[in-house]
Amino acid sequence: MDIAEILAPQGVFPRVKAANKKKLLIDLAQRAASLIGAKEDKIFEALWEREKLSTTGVGHGVAIPHGRLPKLERITAVFARLEEAIDFDAVDDAPIDLVFLLLTPEDAGADHLKALARVSRLMRSAAMCEKLRAAPDKAALYALLTEPTATFQAA
């Protein structure tokens, strides 16, 4: 599975402002709702319930919030780069500024895990995160996220 299969150019947001974790997830739920035609409150609810289990702030300034939605037809991603890093209760207690949101159908099973693994590998790369932070615009972010080697970088 390539990132381009789950992330559309219109799902990339280079300058997102958020005061805190909850407001960020509300904002991203609104953005995702317009992409997939689902209700933003249902998206937020799925994301917030997952956050209650344990943080999706994976460290090094990165968060990968994810949730399952009934009636969603395919795995969909949203990427956001924050204007200012915020506290996200990340595992390393560092603030986050890169967010890769994943929404999967309720019955996605192994595909949910495969998508999460792909995104995790991509966002674990310190070099990739540096490039994402330095990218000048939406087009550059999308190109970085979807380059063929992006799904396989792990350094």
Q: CA 6, CA 32: separation in Å to the nearest integer?
A: 12
Q: What is the distance of C-alpha 37 from the center of its chain?
A: 18
- Residue 63 φ then ψ, to 5°: -130, 145
Q: Write out 66-108 in H/E/C secondary structure.
A: EEEECCCCCCEEEEEEEEEEECCCCCCCCCEEEEEEEEEECCC
What is the C-alpha to C-alpha distance for residues 81 and 79, in angstroms, rounded to an integer?
7
66 in active site? yes
- The tokens of 117 are what? 């693994």
Contacts of 31 (CB under 8 A, 6+ apart): 11, 13, 78, 80
Q: Which residue out of 6, 14, 44, 66 is catalytically annotated?
A: 66
Q: Which residues are annotated as catalytic?
A: 66
